[in-house]
Amino acid sequence: MNTKLCVLFVLAFVTWPCQGSDYQVFPLRMKTGYNEQYPTEVSCASWRLGVEANNLVKWKTVPAPCQEHVADYLLGDQYRSDSKTVCREAYFYAKTLNITQKDIFVFDVDDTALSNLQYFANHGFGVEEHNATAFKIWVSYGEAFALPETLKLYNKLLALGIKVVFITERPLDLKDVTVSNLQNVGFYKWDKLIARDPSIYSGKLSNAFKSSERTKLAEEGFRIVGNIGDQWSDILGDKRGFRTFKLPNPLYYD
């Protein structure tokens, strides 16, 4: 550690040594809560980490005791900061590439480019069981706002000369409203916006649909240099991209 940093640390935490050798590390910290239970805040943070790491899969709803934790996470600074870390890393990676005409970056739409936070705020922050009808009505309003860190990344990628392709679970009949919603909030251009065609993909899992559409892109000669989404199903499977980026989403599991 250089001297300046050391001085800073000394100023900030007078009692902390700079060498780090005086930390006391206990092999097993005793649980702090009552009756062997962790406080809700602690166990819900663990739940969220399990979700983001794809250790907890196929869950249907946010555990009811974690509703406030999830709401605080999404409405506070942490969600934005976590998203920023992901988007910055994607940009730093993209900057290292020698871009060609064939290079594309795949973006998901829901809770990647557009935020459905308003909908979920009115429906229990993921605690209520998903209602596809109500969700479709919300989407059809075309009023979702842009996720700001994704929008920044999108603009930077375009400036680097990388083409953008959106692949969305939204069905074809919601394509027009999706186009206008994206454009209204600052996503002005893309090479393709691929919505789910129910005549081909009825009953298929999200991952199968996205893999199949990415494979088609590869067959058309595109090189998928990157792929960003909030769901693991966006970034696993065939032709997933040279690098994938997972945005946080503790609200639902696709």
Ligand X SMILES: *[C@@H]1O[C@H](CO)[C@@H](O)[C@H](O)[C@H]1NC(C)=O
Contacts with ligand X, residue ranges (CB under 6 A):
96, 98, 131, 133-134
Contact criterion met (CB below 8 Å) for 154 and 187: yes
- Give min distance, CB of 137 to ligand X, in A: 6
SS3 1: coil
Q: Looking at the chain, how many residues does it have? A: 254
Which element (helix H / strand E) includes 82?
Answer: helix 77-95
Q: What minimum distance in Å lies between the beta carbon of 97 and ligand X? A: 6
CB nearer ligand X, residue 2 or residue 133: 133
* C-alpha separations of 224 from 65, 99, 184, 236, 244 in Å: 40, 11, 26, 13, 10
Tell which residue, 119, 142, 144, has the closest CA to residue 132. Answer: 119
Q: How far is the CB of 133 from ligand X (least distance, A)?
A: 4
* Nearest CB to ligand X, comparing residues 133 and 202: 133
Q: Closest approach of Cβ 154 to ligand X, in Å?
A: 22
Between 46 and 131, name the residue whose CB sits nearer to ligand X: 131
- 230 near 107, Cβ under 8 Å? no
CB of 100 to ligand X, least distance (A): 10
Sequential DSSP letters for 89-119: HHHHHHHTS---TTEEEEE--BTTTEE-HHH
Comparison of 98 and 199: residue with beta carbon closer to ligand X: 98
CB of 95 to ligand X, least distance (A): 10
Task: CB nearer to ligand X: give 103 or 230.
Answer: 103
Q: 41 vs 173, which CB is nearer to ligand X?
A: 173
Tell me the angle at which helices 148-160 and 77-95 cross, rounded to the nearest 10 degrees. 10
Query: Please, what's the b/e burial string for 194-216 (b: 16 or more CB within 10 A of its CB; e: otherwise)?
Result: bbbeeeebeeeebbebbbebbee
DSSP strand pairing (145-146 vs 114-115): antiparallel
User: Shortest Cβ distance from residue 31 to ligand X (Å)?
Assistant: 38
Closer residue to ligand X (CB): 40 or 140: 140
